[in-house]
Structure 1
Amino acid sequence: MAQFLLILLYSFVTVIIIQVIYYLLIFGKFSFAKFEEKEHLSIPISVIVCAKNEAENVKNYVPLLLSQNYPNFEIVLIDDASSDETLDVFEDFEKKYANIKLVKVKNNEAFWGNKKFALTLGIKAASHNNLLFIDADCYPDSDHWIAEMSSSFSEEKSIVLGYGAYEKVENSFLSKLIRFETLLTATQYFSWAKLGKAYMGVGRNLAYKRNEFFNANGFIEHMKIRSGDDDLLINQISNSKNTAINFNPESITFSKSKTSFGDWIMQKRRHISTAKYYKFFDKFQLALFFSSQLLFLLLTIILLSFQYQWIIVVALIAIRYIASTISLGYSAAKLYEKDVMYYYPILEIILIFTQLSLFFKNIFSKPVHWK
């Protein structure tokens, strides 16, 4: 037994080293980064919104896009064969505003319910090379959202990753859990982008140049995969030089959190299901991080249960939590999510075991995708 516990202790030390490297050296690329004030440009922008049965949301949020303080933009509204009043709402906007272009998508047997098909039609209809994406249930937090996101484009930077936050819901633990998961995910993909290894973006707040899309033949490599119109495309087209991040407060978008744990679980199952299609390195580093998180918890429980070298174990636990709290704390401050850190590490523990259960659920059943 003593020999077995010694092996577990050495394994625990290895896990702690991996975790500290992630939190301080890798995630630190974003956590400790400073805002870069950039000159707001006036390059032409096409804002693309794809909606399916989102009548109420587009009524409320399209006016916020129209009121953006930016001199040269159009809004491409895509109705993906909605069965509610979404198309009627879009047609009303099209009649009133000259800078709105409407794309009507009919159900296609080859691409039934595939958001990527609808987005492709919208991208082809866009007048400009610079594309800025936002989901139909999202809204910008500032009337300088377009100006801020477009400022990150350059001759070299053709992809811009933004932060898509969720609204705070008072006295809701689920809301805090969702926002903590969103914070952790953003810390990961922003950090790897800073390291020249961008692997994903979120369609709630994402920009790229249309020529990048066409050079990759659009979504053709993963058209049959129902999800991944954002992360799988970025995983495919990003490289060490062409991707920028923007976390300026005026670049943030918001959407409402899921109000039931079941709805959120279904949403996360869709997101997680695309990760297996990432490049090998991206799958490896994500799996290594999650495995080290899970092993940290399990080994902590085992070693403390046996009180084996407990002083060393407690010291290692403290080192890990100091590193993670500092790193995530700085990220939370940048992304205006500081309040969720008050519930760390409880949120982290729940999230780890939730993700583990989702992994096994996705093995035995497929999640439902686009509406």
Structure 2
Amino acid sequence: METVLFGLFIAYLAFFTLQFIYYGFIFSRFSFAQPQEGTPKSIAVSVIICAKNELENLKKNLPHFVSQNYPNYELVLIDDASSDDSLELLEEYERMYPFIKLVKVENNEAFWGNKKFALTLGIKAAKNEYLLFTDADCRPNDANWIAEMTAHFTAKKTIVLGYGAYEKIKGSFLNKIIRYETAITAIQYFSWAKVGKPYMGVGRNLAYKKSEFFNVRGFMDHMKIRSGDDDLFINQAANAQNTTINFNSESFTYSEAKKTYLDWFKQRRRHVSTSKYYKTFDKLQLTTHFVSQFFFLTLAIVLLAFQYNWILVAGILGFRYIFNWIIIGYGCSKLKEKDIIFGYPLFELLLMITQINVFITNLFSKPVHWK
């Protein structure tokens, strides 16, 4: 038994080391970074929003997009064969605002229910080289959203990763978990972009030049995969030379988070099902992070239960939590998510359990995507 416990203790130290490397040398790159002020520009931009049966969200959010404080932009609105009154509302907006271009997508048997097909038509219809993407259920945090996102384009930086936040719901524990997961994900993809290994972005807030889209043949290499119009595209097109990040609060977008655990669980299933198509290195680093996190905590419980070197084990466990808490705290503060910081230990555990549940569920059934 002593030999077994010694082996578990060595493994415990190894997983702690991996966690320390992730948080101390990678995630800290974002958490301790200073916001970079972009250079204000007046480049022509096409803002692209794809909608499918989003009538209520469009009513609520479109006013924020037509009132942007930016001199040179068009708003490309894509109706992806909606069965509600979304198209009628979009047509009304098109009549009211000359800078709106409406793209009407009819059901195509080969691409039925595929958001990537609709987005491709919208991108081709856009008249400008610079493209800025968000979703119909999102609103910009500020009237300077377009100006703030485009300010980070340079001659070399042709992809800008932004932050898509969720609205706070007072008194909702689930809302805090969802926002925690969203913030942690952002800390990860922002950090890896700063390290020079960008691997994903979110369609709720993403900008790139049209040339980047055509350089990788658009979504063709993963068109049959229903999800991934944002993260799979970035995983394929982004690199250390062409990608930058923007985490100034004026650049944020906000959308309503799911209000039930089941709806959020379904959303997580869609997101996780896409990551298996990432590049090998990106899948490896994501898997290594989760595995080291899971087994570090599991082995800590086992070793403490047997009181094996319990003072050292408990000391390492406490150090890990305090150290990671600092890194996560600074990162969440940059993302204006301070209220979730104090729930870190519990949120981490609950999110880990959810991720395991998602993985197991996805093994036996396919998640539902864009309809």
Using the size of structure 2 for normalisation, the TM-score is: 0.99
Q: Which residue of 2 aligns with 1:62?
A: 62
Identity across aligned pairs (percent)? 59
Q: Which residue of 1 aligns with 2:350?
A: 350
1:90-109 correspondence runs (5 A): 90-109=90-109
Deviations along 1:59-87, whole A, 9 cap, x unmatched?
A: 11111011110000000000000000110
Q: How far has the Cα of 1:342 moved from its partner?
A: 1.4
Pair 1:255-2:240 in alignment? no
Q: How far has the Cα of 1:38 moved from its partner?
A: 2.0
Q: Which residue of 2 aligns with 1:53?
A: 53
Q: How far has the Cα of 1:89 moved from its partner?
A: 0.5
AA matched with 1:23: Y
Q: Which residue of 1 aligns with 2:29?
A: 29
Q: Which residue of 2 aligns with 1:340?
A: 340
User: Helix, strand or coil: the match of 2:276?
Assistant: helix
Give the unaligned 5+ runs of structure 1. Answer: none
Could you tell me how far apart the structure 2 residues matched to 1:93 and 1:346 are?
45
Could you tell me how far apart the structure 2 residues matched to 1:231 and 1:354 are?
21
User: Helix, strand or coil: the match of 2:83?
Assistant: coil
Pair 1:243-2:280 in alignment? no
Q: How far has the Cα of 1:39 moved from its partner?
A: 2.2
Could you tell me how far apart the structure 2 residues matched to 1:239 and 1:141 are?
27
Q: Which residue of 2 aligns with 1:137?
A: 137
Query: Which aligned segments of 4 or more residues in structure 1 are displaced greater than 4 angstroms?
Result: none
Deviations along 1:2-38, whole A, 9 cap, x unmatched?
A: 1100111110011111101101110011011001122
AA matched with 2:95: K
AA matched with 1:310: W
Q: How far has the Cα of 1:318 moved from its partner?
A: 1.4
Q: Which residue of 1 aligns with 2:331?
A: 331
Could you tell me how far apart the structure 2 residues matched to 1:294 and 1:108 are?
44
Q: Which residue of 2 aligns with 1:270?
A: 270
Q: Which residue of 1 aligns with 2:150?
A: 150
- RMSD across aligned C-alpha pairs, in angstroms? 0.6
Q: Which residue of 1 aligns with 2:13?
A: 13
- Figure out how many residues of one structure are paired with residues of the other and give that number: 371
Task: Tell me whether 45-54 or 312-321 shows the greater mean CA deviation.
Answer: 312-321
AA matched with 1:22: Y
User: Helix, strand or coil: the match of 1:304?
Assistant: helix
Could you tell me how far apart the structure 2 residues matched to 1:353 and 1:8 are?
22
Using the size of structure 1 for normalisation, the TM-score is: 0.99
Q: How far has the Cα of 1:220 moved from its partner?
A: 0.2
Pair 1:114-2:121 in alignment? no
Q: Which residue of 1 aligns with 2:196?
A: 196
AA matched with 2:168: K
Pair 1:211-2:211 in alignment? yes
Q: Which residue of 1 aligns with 2:159?
A: 159
Could you tell me how far apart the structure 1 residues matched to 2:249 and 2:53 are?
30
AA matched with 2:357: S
Deviations along 1:326-362, whole A, 9 cap, x unmatched?
A: 1100101100001101111000000011101101111
Deviations along 1:109-167, whole A, 9 cap, x unmatched?
A: 00010000000000000010100000000000100000000011111001000000000
